[in-house]
Structure 1
């Protein structure tokens, strides 16, 4: 078995895993990300849509964990069970890439945080930033290779480290909140964006998806739970706690500064805001909490990425070589493959105009594939009459499916094609798997799906070459 939590995780431990998985780099960037697109009115609608959609998805995960307890290899297992080997593979690949892209986002945000004190690091995409991030990536690689385990305990420490400064940020901004400024910003305020309210909301939707990636954290480690029923309860509890944090972090800044000033903040914008409100110590407080939480979260998410590959390889959903372990019981092949991928993604991010924003949108887009398959599998069970005839479950499955489809639309064609640039070459791994198993590579329907993925990937590369898709 690869790195992971110890057997027998309690309800509170599972909740901490899910909260820690969701509360990552994204929450520290929310003020500027929303301020650049919309005001409080648009933010409230965006969070309402996301809250409703993600709640439905969380409830679907809760329901699936009880009606199909045999599927405990992670959320990708639902895609494979419902729609075949290739769909299951795409879910594995997508979820693993989400973890890898998130790891790069962590390093970009960490170096951008250092940029507040050392200008050479800029906003996370300068040459010194890349050198420091590279050193960190390989430092963690050899640390894990030496036998470091315990994602759950690391995640718990990181969760405390990040939640305390976030709570202080909320309290300090709430105490000095100015209703008049909030009212001025409500319908955007200041410089009016050219887009209407619908386009403003759409521009924020992938951001909201990104910050909720990890809602399935308890489900990923479901086989370690003391009680299966705790998995669903922990998922819902964590979701509600994190939604409250996200809302407050997004809305409170509008009660202090005009929207245009919030949009001009450097990332991590939470640190910039607190510095403006209480002085330099505010930026130091947020930055220290952010750096500690990023280092812990990076280790936890890297271990999760390895877990995904290792378990998938053991189950025949990734090449067998990725199930190899070293003498210390660490899935070394999965670790090397993950680290090299993170390093390659870091080089790509270095060339991006806004590395953090690109990584946020790309990670969210990649996450939609496994989420869509979860919702579609739930709908399939409902149609077949499995899991009872609870009307509420039927409605939640349909809502979750519509939500994931809507998020693909909200993300737009360019980011969808960019995600397919990663999925298309990844299909080579699937061919390797099927040949290892000496099975038929593609069924007729899978051939059609593969053709769409490859054509989309080619269109994405063409768009990058022509400049119609930009990094």
Structure 2
């Protein structure tokens, strides 16, 4: 029993998992990802909406881990418990692909950061970049195969290390902040100059930030996914809220204060990572070097954290008889070896496809953000459903989280909904196979959902072929 408990994760390790997966490479590019199309007011409103929504979602996770302790799969088991096997399967499937694509984005951004020092990697999606990213991918595979406990310890160390350049950057932002510069772009700008207040335009700017903010908070459920490995179950909820609030404060400061350094209509001209460009403008070239080193450390840590999540979810789903049993195989180090192997192979395949697009990072992070919307939404819906007759407070939390989940699906837009359905489409055949193996019938509602997903996926393919999708 003692040895088994030694393999369990402490509160600090769980907090590091949440912070480490949320503050990845995306934090270093938030300034341009949000500020290119949005002024200071829209960014503040965007973070207000996201903060309220994500805190409600985090509180939902905290409550559900407490009142539904047997649901160890967290992000997918809530959907299964509340809405049936197929919704549980889709939540696991969508979350898995979100984590996969997150790793693809991190690999691309890591190579872009290395390109600051070694021009051969410039852009992050050429052949040398793909080769090195692939080598790192399989190094992560070998590390995790030695045990989840060892990997989370390294993740904790890396998380602490990457906070140093972030805090240095925040100090520089505070010192260099110019209020007049900030107010010039407060309502947004055109090439001709500042915009005046226009409610519809401000809300359009806010909408443009939504997928970016989801990407920034991907990983808030990190502790929930590993709830079965926590030393004390109550630490899961604590870790989620501590990590969420801390990261929210950091993100707001980064994106808002930066608009007092560089005028809003020039932010889109910054190269990845945009944080390096801002730092260089204030302190000189050494600042860009520090940020790029911090980015490399951060991406490696986030890549490790997301590799753990990407392997853990299908492994747990297989043990719950939602995924094929093959995914549930652990090695002698208690690492999800089969799940990790197929995950790494799919990431490798995506790396190869990046040779054919010049928007690799933006496409990968946007699709990763879109794929996780369904798992988030059904976790919120389950919080609302399970709390209605027991607690007004928890019902309110579930209602806010549910409204936020619906809002971000709308804000993501039709293009990403269709592209996401292409990812969900192959899952239909995997789900049918698993149901047949366990002698479980396919319900009429399941068949209707098969048809809806198939129709949307085919529409997505048509849009891609006809050039109506502009995300590539």
Using structure 2 for the length normalisation, give the TM-score.
Answer: 0.93
* Paired residues of 2:37 and 2:205 also in contact (CA < 8 A): yes
- Other-structure match for 2:42: 42
> Quick one: distance in 1 between partners of 2:142 and 2:241?
36
Distance 1:135 1:8 in 2: 29
Decide whether the 8 Å contact of 1:99 with 1:301 is kept in 2.
Answer: yes
Which runs of 5 or more structure 1 residues have no equivalent in the other structure?
Answer: none
Aligned positions of 1:49-448 closer than 5 A: 49-145=49-145, 150-189=150-189, 191=191, 196-326=201-331, 329-383=334-388, 385=389, 388-389=390-391, 391-440=392-441, 442-448=442-448
* SS of residue matched to 1:70: coil
Gaps of 5+ in 2: none
2: CA distance between counterparts of 1:444 and 1:210? 34
Contact 1:53 1:400 (C-alpha < 8 Å) held by counterparts: yes
CA distance in 2, matches of 1:401, 1:209: 14
Q: Using a 3 Å threshold, how does the CA distance of structure 1 residues 6 and 424 change in structure 2: closer, same or farther? A: farther
Distance 1:5 1:131, change over 3 A: farther
Decide whether the 8 Å contact of 1:190 with 1:258 is kept in 2.
no
Paired with 2:281 and 2:351, the residues of 1 have a C-alpha distance of 31
Whole-angstrom CA distance in 2 between matches of 1:287 and 1:127: 21
The answer to whether the 8 Å contact 2:23/2:298 transfers is no
1:459 shift after superposition: 1.0
- Taking a change above 3 Å as real, the CA distance of residues 327 and 69 of structure 1, as seen in their structure-2 partners, is closer
Aligned length: 463
Q: Relative to structure 2, which stretch is displaced further, 211-220 or 287-296?
A: 287-296
- TM-superposed deviation, 1:326: 4.2
Q: Is the 8 A contact 2:39 2:264 kept in 1?
A: yes
Corresponding residue number in structure 2 for 1:29:
29
Quick check: 1:15 aligned with 2:15? yes
For residues 208 and 449 of structure 2, the distance between their equivalents in structure 1, rounded to whole angstroms, comes to 28
Q: Distance in 2 between matches of 1:249 and 1:370?
A: 28
Question: C-alpha distance in 2, partners of 1:243/1:148?
Answer: 27
* Superposition deviation, residue 239 in structure 1: 0.9
Relative distance call for 1:331 and 1:10 in structure 2 (3 A) is closer
1:261 deviation in Å?
A: 1.9
| C-alpha distance in structure 2 between counterparts of 1:107 and 1:49, whole Å | 29
Mapped partners of 1:351, 1:408: distance in 2:
28
Equivalent residue of 1:255, what SS? coil
The answer to whether the Cα contact below 8 Å between 2:17 and 2:305 also exists between their aligned partners in 1 is no
| Contact 1:73 1:220 (C-alpha < 8 Å) held by counterparts | yes
Cα offset, 1:7, TM superposition:
4.2
Q: Contact conserved, 1:5 with 1:151, CA < 8 A, in 2? A: no
Spell out, residue by residue over 1:23-70, the C-alpha distance to the aligned partner (whole angstroms, 9 max, x if none). 112111101111211110110010011001111111111111111111
Partner secondary structure for residue 259 of structure 2? helix
Say whether residues 1:465 and 2:470 are aligned partners.
no
Distance in 2 (CA, whole Å) between partners of 1:452 and 1:35 is 36
**CA RMSD across the alignment:** 2.0
Tell whether the 8 Å contact from 1:56 to 1:397 is kept in structure 2 after alignment. yes
Q: Give TM-score scaled by structure 1 length.
A: 0.93
Question: Aligned partners of 2:367, 2:146: CA distance in 1, in Å?
Answer: 31
Residues 217-253 of structure 1: CA deviation (Å, up to 9, x unaligned): 1111222333322222221111110000000110111
